[in-house]
Amino acid sequence: MSYQIGDEIPSITLQDTDGNYVTIKSGTDKNTILLFFPLAFTGVCTTEMCTVRDNMKVYESLRTDVYGISIDSFFCLKAFKESTNLNFNLLSDFNKVQSTNFGVLNNDHYGMIGVAKRSVFVLDSDMKLLHSEILKDAGKLPNFNKIREALS
């Protein structure tokens, strides 16, 4: 499955870095950015997450919650979050449910099967998809300007 612009996304429940279940759902007064990334502790993923960290004031001013999502265990994500001093939630899609639902599961990431493609999904407060970008090249970063435009 994959979603198209304008689709209403069903609620999403994943584990955070403490192993607690977090549900992202409609009915809040905030927008949501979902940043799927291949693997914690890798160069481009670290750059991407730190770029978001350094720009959190922008996302907060746009009433937006940000979630980084990877197939890493929540144990691994906790260490990654602490080592990079991230100021937003990381969620584990270890069982690859949401990576599959969003159509971003990569079957060949340097020989690894089942790693999420670097991608971004911007949702409004009703979980309506406003913007998506799925990168074919994991060495590239998402277009942060387009993310901000979608939130404006």
Annotated catalytic sites, by residue? 45
Cβ-based neighbours of 118, under 8 Å, separated by 6 or more: 36, 37, 38, 44, 45, 48, 134, 135, 138, 140, 141, 142
* Structure token digits, residue 102: 């969003």
Nearest to 98 by CA among 116, 110, 84, 83: 116
Question: How many Å apart are CA 92 and CA 70, to the nearest integer?
Answer: 6
